[in-house]
Amino acid sequence: MIYLASPYTHRDACVRHARFDAACRAAADLVHAGQVVFSPIVHGHPLVRFGLPTDWAFWQRFDTEHLRRYDEVIVLQIDGWRESEGVRREIELAAALGKRVEYFAVEDWP
């Protein structure tokens, strides 16, 4: 089972939506390939319009519980992934939990 990590938070709603679309495309590709995948961005972005925050501080508890249950983490290397506090913390947590972490650039994505 795969946890798909990708950046999200940005002051510009258009950037957040583009990051959501990229995570949806990657998650769909993984599902088409027969994988079980969870993406906190795919799940969480639609909920933001109901007043939920977009920052790691809020989502940390939810993401941590999902990370514990999944076998590996795939980091989607889209714009902002290196600067993302959430992605950095997900990678650190995965390492602490002994989870395999792989990195995929958009141009390398199937």
How many independent structural domains does the chain possess?
1
CATH number, position 13 = 3.40.50.10400
Mind listing the pLDDT tens digit for each residue in 19-46?
999 999 999 999 999 999 999 999 998 8
* pLDDT value of residue 98: 95
Q: Is 88 exposed, middle or buried (0-12, 13-18, 19+ CB in 10 A)?
A: middle
Range of the domain at 38: 2-108
63-86 residue pLDDT tens:
999 999 999 999 999 999 999 999
Q: Which residues contact 102 (CB under 8 A, 6 or more apart)?
A: 72, 73, 74, 75
- % residues pLDDT > 70 (the chain): 96
